[in-house]
Amino acid sequence: MSFISFFKGYRNFGIFFSILCIIIIAIIYNILNVKQPLPIYQPAMVSEELVDSAIQHKIKYHTIADFSLINQNGETVTQDSYKDKIYVADFFFTTCQTICPIMTDHMYQIQKEIINDDEVMLLSHSVTPTIDSVAQLKKYAKEKGVIDRKWNLVTGDKKQIYELARKSYLAVKTDGNGDEYDMIHTENFMLIDKKRQIRGFYDGTNPDDIERLLEDISRLKAES
């Protein structure tokens, strides 16, 4: 075998080996960069100040409880209104002048992004239901650009909203004064999947978290 023939054979092997290495590296890169599924949040994973003491140590099978509330149009909204939907939930009140206006503006931005997506909705619960009557919610909805088919603002029995906040959405604090069912809402937005599980918590006042929430909605849709 001549030196030239040997070199050609070696060169062909080198080309083959280089291509094989590139393929292996690409496979490893793709495996490492596959996004993991979003976590399924349980009460034990959340700050204790946001969780009712009865369920603080629950580590699996947590879902949003059944509910029946009234929206800005005086219509009854239940868990069936969100059946087979991904949705973003929060807690607010219409007379809040601190974080609520920012949160509501961000919910409005999310509404714009999901306006043509039939799989995704929004749900905002009043933490002052005795003040936030249907008429008050309707006024607020008009001011904030709420589109009824995408976003429900709900009021109702204070005990039920309190229990939803503390036992289902893991989203509000007590007022610290010992008054039964009084609550201090947080800036949290919660992402709920089609199985009524919490898949993410986001700072509703932080634009970066809103972008992350929108990305996570797309990830959830890819899961289902």
Binding site members for Cu cation? 96, 100, 185
Tell me how far CA of residue 114 lies from CA of 84, 96, 108, 120, 214, in angstroms: 15, 26, 10, 6, 9
Q: pLDDT tens across 178-209, in order? A: 677 889 999 999 999 999 999 999 999 999 99
Binding site members? 96, 100, 185
Q: pLDDT tens across 124-171, in order? A: 999 999 999 999 999 999 999 999 999 999 999 999 999 999 999 999
**What pLDDT was estimated at residue 36?**
84
Which stretches of 79-150 are assigned E, i.e. beta strand?
86-92, 120-126
pLDDT surpasses 80 at 119: yes
Q: Which two tokens stand for residue 176?
A: 């610290």
Q: pLDDT tens across 16-42, in order? A: 555 655 666 545 544 444 568 999 999
Angle at 171 between CA 183 and CA 35, to 5 degrees: 170
> Global pTM?
0.84
Q: Where are the domains of the chain?
A: 1-34, 43-223
The CATH number of 43-223 is 3.40.30.10
> How many angstroms separate the CA atoms of 213 and 146, rounded?
19
pLDDT surpasses 90 at 89: yes
